[in-house]
Structure 1
Amino acid sequence: MEWILVVLAGGALVGAGRQLLVRRAARKVDSEELAQIERLAGEDVTEFGEELARLGERVQADDLDADGRLDYQRALAAYEAAQQALAKLRSANDVSTITDTLATGRYAIVCVRARSAGQPVPVRRVPCFFNPQHGPSTTDVVWNQPKHGTRRIAVCAQDAARLHEGEEPEVRMVVIGNRRVPYWEAGKAVLPYSSGYFAQGGGAQYISEAKITGPLHRIADGGMANGMGDIGPGL
């Protein structure tokens, strides 16, 4: 009887040890995901701050009308809020707070530029699919990526022009091992980041069907590179 109790106790210890290892592995994955999301979001916050600084060099707040100054203040507030949210980021799933704030700030910058040029303020649209750092999209295109099919996606004016001329769009790239891939194919680790910018629409559908179901990948040296794909009929 005693040997049975010993065996049972040993089995319980083994089971507890396995559970501990599983929990530790899960915490490690969560920590790696958070670090990767924090890196991507941090790059976006830095880029937005630089864009805001360039805007300040070209446009003086005193030269704007009341609506223009309000948009300018919204952009400044978005930058401050994004910095604070980045500093408080504790979960990869919370990155949507940062992406939403940056999207609002980028639209505010577009509004300031339009008002300072005496042009109509554009309707707010989702960010450019190829690289959310490009700011709000201006049009939809039908885009075909080899092996992934054709989708209608929202893109910025610059990428739309590149595609129209037969050139490649500027795609937000990340490094997986020794390969550079579009951010939407970087694995589960960046899904909260991608979904934060594209919660619905063609971009969200494309992301959901890309290689986001693969294993966790370590990401480094994010950036932009001329990308891939063809454009169908302009829309």
Structure 2
Amino acid sequence: MKWFSRSSGSEATVGADAEARRNELLRVSSVLRADIASLRGRAGTGRVNTALLRAAQHAETFGSSGRQLFQATEALAEAGRLIAPTGRPPCLFNPTHGPATASVMWTPGGSVPRSVPVCDSDAVRITTGEPPAVRLVPTDFGPQPYYSAGEVYADWILGWYSSSEPALAGVLLAGTGLGPHLNR
């Protein structure tokens, strides 16, 4: 993942880039901690806790590269599958909701409509005309849906979908701000 490129400009620019990177890392770390806490509340013992511990360890070392972010969410996805083993990918609107149990039509930002995997609760919300409970993440502009928060969340979502079809996240989120960063 490309965080920030160093410009050949002044030290102030380099300092501002470093500060912006630190702020992004803090925001993404807070998302990882919240995801771990959310799943820990539903976890039992054994393999689920092992996966959550692995996620926490990667979250603690997150910062030197996006790889720890990917590995942390990959471990979170494993914990989610152990809690509710459906063989389906995570709920698109909030992966911590657990594996999808239904599919609904979704058209992000005027893009092409597509069938997306969702949890029971979001399926009910959408079929009754309510918006889904989308995972909001912190940004410079306040809380935003993760798929509008930019490339910093690419490895986060790729980790959630790593055990599904490799290109699934890119297909599902095409037409969003995050979509172009998922086709790796």
Specify if TM > 0.5. Answer: yes
Residue among 68, 80, 86 paired with 1:106? 80
Whether the 8 Å CA contact 1:154–1:203 is kept in 2: the answer is no
Which residue of structure 1 aligns with residue 29 of structure 2? 38
Which residue of structure 2 aligns with residue 207 of structure 1? 173
Whether the 8 Å CA contact 1:78–1:104 is kept in 2: the answer is yes
Whether the 8 Å CA contact 1:152–1:202 is kept in 2: the answer is no
- Which residue identity lines up with residue 205 of structure 1 in the other structure? V
Which residue of structure 2 aligns with residue 137 of structure 1? 100
Structure with the larger helix share: 1
| Secondary structure in 2 matching 1:154 | strand
- Deviation digits for residues 184-228 of structure 1 (CA, Å, limit 9, x no counterpart): 101233233233324544532343531249xxxxxxxxxxxxxxx
Unaligned runs of 5+ in 1: 1-15, 57-71, 112-121, 214-235
Instruction: Please say which structure displays the higher CA radius of gyration.
Output: 1
Residue 20 of structure 2 is aligned to residue 82 of structure 1: no
Cα 1:45–1:92 shift into 2, 3 Å: farther
| Secondary structure in 2 matching 1:149 | coil
Task: Give the C-alpha shift of residue 152 in structure 1.
Answer: 2.2
Task: Give the C-alpha shift of residue 17 in structure 1.
Answer: 7.6
| Secondary structure in 1 matching 2:100 | coil
Task: Give distance in 2, aligned partners of 1:201 and 1:18.
Answer: 37
Whether the 8 Å CA contact 2:48–2:79 is kept in 1: the answer is yes
Cα 1:24–1:103 shift into 2, 3 Å: same
TM-score, normalisation: structure 2: 0.76
- Which residue identity lines up with residue 77 of structure 2 in the other structure? A
Q: Sequence identity of aligned pairs in percent?
A: 25
Backbone CA RMSD of aligned residues: 2.8
Which residue of structure 1 aligns with residue 137 of structure 2? 174
Whether the 8 Å CA contact 2:105–2:115 is kept in 1: the answer is yes
Which residue of structure 1 aligns with residue 112 of structure 2? 149
Cα 1:151–1:47 shift into 2, 3 Å: same
Cα 1:178–1:19 shift into 2, 3 Å: closer
| Secondary structure in 2 matching 1:44 | helix
- Deviation digits for residues 81-105 of structure 1 (CA, Å, limit 9, x no counterpart): 1122212222351201111101111
Which residue of structure 2 aligns with residue 183 of structure 1? 146
Task: Give the C-alpha shift of residue 132 in structure 1.
Answer: 0.7
**Count of residues in correspondence between the two structures:** 169
Which residue of structure 2 aligns with residue 51 of structure 1? 42
